[in-house]
Amino acid sequence: MASKKQQQKIEFTIREKTGTGVCRKIRSKDLIPVILYGPEHKQGLAGTVSARAVAPIANSEAKETTLIELMMSDGKDCTALIRDVQRHPLTQNIRHIDFYQVLKGHKIKVEIPIRVINKEMAPGVKEGGLLTQSARSLTLEIKPRDIPEDIVVDVADLNMGEEIFIKDIILPEDCDLLSAGDTLVVHITQPKAAAETSEEEVLEAEAPEVEVVAKGKTKEEDKE
């Protein structure tokens, strides 16, 4: 199951000057230096965007799946995705962004986040099981207009010891799965302490029977 999203719009001002000093001045004006790559910009097109406009997208978990309409200063608007966000190592403030141009009707490779829902409703969890999410995303080849914000995995019916693999997930129509289908996404296991307790109980239950057999064998030996 996939979550749909709305396309965002951001003004893109083309710039000719590049370099560390230029980028420093750009950031001082509450702007972010960016580069647009893609089929029509193989060498990269330098530009600037508003920090306030792009930050909500760049800071979200869905930053790489959110379609952005770049309103170019030369009038040639294009649709793009965020491919990379560079941040300051200490402040984590955005310092640079790479955009990738996508063409209408053409499939592109994109990594989609996996969101697990209804964890508290899972029978296995109610029984005291431990729910673990092993995979956080999967990779699809899909048309831009069909890119979902995330892939939702509902575990409301997941029992103790059960698992969900990528091959079990319902994907958007007309897409190609690039991730391995046998990749484990989520499973519920019995807590280690509970498992050890169960083993002790089994041993205790078997002990009397073992003891009786042993005593019976001793009596037979005495008769001989």
DSSP string, 204-216: HHHHHHHHHHHHH
- 176 or 198: whose pLDDT is higher? 176
Residue 139 and residue 80 in one domain: no
Which structural domain, as residue segments, surrounds residue 154? 109-190
In this structure, is residue 152 part of a structural domain?
yes
d(CA 182, CA 168): 9
Query: Residue 37 CA to chain centroid, in angstroms?
Result: 24
Please return the burial class of 108, using the count of CB atoms within 10 Å of its CB with bins 0-12, 13-18 and 19+.
Answer: middle
Radius of gyration of the chain measured on its C-alpha atoms: 28
In the chain, where does DSSP find H-type helix? Answer: 20-28, 51-58, 123-126, 192-223
Residue 113 and residue 99 in one domain: no
In this prediction the pTM is 0.70
Which residue, 70, 134, 80, is CA-closest to 110? 80
pLDDT at position 199 is 54
Q: Which helix (H) or strand (E) element contains residue 8?
A: strand 8-14
pLDDT at position 214 is 41
Tokens encoding 66: 């959110």
In this structure, is residue 209 part of a structural domain?
no
Residue 116 and residue 177 in one domain: yes
What does the mean pLDDT of the chain come to?
Answer: 86
| Mean pLDDT, residues 54-60 taken together | 94
d(CA 137, CA 180): 12
In this structure, is residue 13 part of a structural domain?
yes
pLDDT at position 215 is 42
How does pLDDT run across 135-172, given as a tens digit for each residue? 999 999 999 889 988 999 999 999 999 999 999 999 99
Residue 94 and residue 125 in one domain: no
pLDDT above 70 for 108: yes
pLDDT at position 200 is 56
d(CA 118, CA 116): 7
pLDDT at position 42 is 87
Percent of the chain with pLDDT over 70: 83
Per the structure, the count of domains in the chain is 2
